[in-house]
């Protein structure tokens, strides 16, 4: 099942994309997609009733917001692909690098990415996004995927000057409004039996910059969930982005960064496609 939130920013309604690709309004069953409605039990109820939900006919292709409405924590994993660590000039980590970014940075998967004022080093990072459906602490890796509600495409947009040159607080560079496009939809975990074999590709202005597969992760999703839960309580509705493969602008020689007018296209097997325009800072979501 594909979960969406459709409509203008801040007034999105919960919906699903059915097996025929049609948008259905789920508001008769759930108030929104968030921690309380992303449980296995609730998703099973929605799936059972999916065919009875009303089709959205007035605007069958509306804007889609981020597929999770209230995000309790936004967790960013750093340097989880060895080849990306190498292009960043850093050693692969022996324990996952865990950074907290502000959930206010989240926007819809196809929303405009806005550059901060005077930003010169805003960069792209395609990543597998993971949404937690059942929280916990000290989760065993063997059980960890049962704690996942679903998966989505994420772009961990990062301002490298803020991230690296202003005191090395990575959260600074990863938290600006619109820096975390999620979606276009959340694909429930039953449709992604193996999150470690997904091709991923990011194009900038039609040119392939990043092309990899989630099998190249240093710490697979199950291991990440287990390790994170040793350090903090994971909650339903938390979002985890699992690291980016090589091909970011910062690693290019010479480095390249996003400019107003750029077009990005991100694809991950089974999770659909994101298309974003990059704009100067004046536009906000
Ligand atoms: Zn990242």
pLDDT for residue 72: 92
CA of 64 to the centre of ligand 1 (A): 23
129-161 per-position pLDDT tens digit:
999 999 999 999 999 999 999 999 999 999 999
pLDDT for residue 260: 95
164: how many CB neighbours lie within 10 A of its CB? 17
CA of 197 to the centre of ligand 1 (A): 19
CA of 16 to the centre of ligand 1 (A): 28
Global pTM? 0.95
94, pLDDT greater than 90:
yes
CA of 157 to the centre of ligand 1 (A): 7
Confidence grade of residue 282 (pLDDT, cut at 50, 70, 90): low
pLDDT for residue 89: 85
3 state SS of 251:
helix
| Average pLDDT score over residue span 79-103 | 90
| Average pLDDT score over residue span 64-90 | 92
CA of 191 to the centre of ligand 1 (A): 24
Strand positions, DSSP E, 57-204: 64-65, 74-78, 97-101, 106-108, 113-114, 122-123, 126-132, 148-155, 158-159, 180-182, 186-188, 199-204
- Half-sphere exposure of 241 toward its Cβ, with a 13 Å CA cutoff? 29
pLDDT for residue 88: 81
Task: Please classify residue 102 by burial: count the beta carbons closer than 10 Å to its beta carbon, then call 0-12 exposed, 13-18 middle and 19+ buried.
Answer: middle
CA of 190 to the centre of ligand 1 (A): 25
Of the listed ranges 40-44, 87-91, 148-152, 184-188, the one predicted with least confidence: 87-91
The answer to whether residues 209 and 144 touch, using CB atoms and an 8 Å cutoff, is no
pLDDT for residue 248: 96
239, pLDDT greater than 70:
yes
CA of 78 to the centre of ligand 1 (A): 6
The answer to whether residues 28 and 53 touch, using CB atoms and an 8 Å cutoff, is yes
């Amino acid at each position: 099942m594909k979960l969406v939130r459709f409509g203008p920013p801040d007034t999105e309604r919960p919906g699903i994309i059915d097996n025929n690709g049609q948008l259905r309004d789920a508001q008769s069953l759930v108030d929104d997609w968030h921690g309380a409605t992303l449980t296995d039990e609730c998703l099973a109820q929605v799936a059972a009733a999916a065919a009875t939900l009303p089709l959205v006919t007035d605007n069958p292709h509306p804007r889609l917001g981020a597929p999770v409405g209230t995000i309790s924590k936004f967790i960013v994993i750093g340097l989880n692909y060895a080849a990306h660590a190498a292009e960043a000039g850093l050693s692969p980590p022996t324990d996952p690098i865990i950074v907290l970014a502000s959930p206010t940075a989240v926007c819809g998967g196809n929303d405009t990415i806005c550059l901060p004022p005077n930003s010169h080093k805003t960069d792209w990072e395609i990543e597998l996004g993971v949404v937690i459906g059942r929280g916990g602490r000290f989760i065993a890796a063997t059980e960890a995927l049962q704690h996942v509600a679903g998966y989505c495409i994420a772009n961990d947009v990062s301002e490298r000057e803020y991230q690296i040159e202003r005191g090395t607080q990575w959260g600074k560079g990863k938290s600006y409004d619109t820096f975390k496009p999620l979606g276009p939809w959340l694909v429930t975990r039953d449709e992604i039996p193996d999150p470690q074999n997904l091709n991923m590709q990011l194009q900038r202005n039609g040119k392939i910059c990043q092309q990899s597969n989630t099998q190249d992760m240093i710490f697979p999703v199950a291991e990440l969930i287990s390790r994170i839960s040793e350090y903090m309580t994971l909650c339903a509705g938390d979002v985890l982005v699992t690291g980016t493969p090589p091909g970011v602008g910062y690693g290019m020689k010479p480095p390249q960064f996003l400019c107003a007018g750029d077009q990005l296209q991100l694809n991950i097997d089974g999770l659909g496609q994101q298309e974003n325009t990059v704009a100067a800072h004046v536009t906000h979501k």
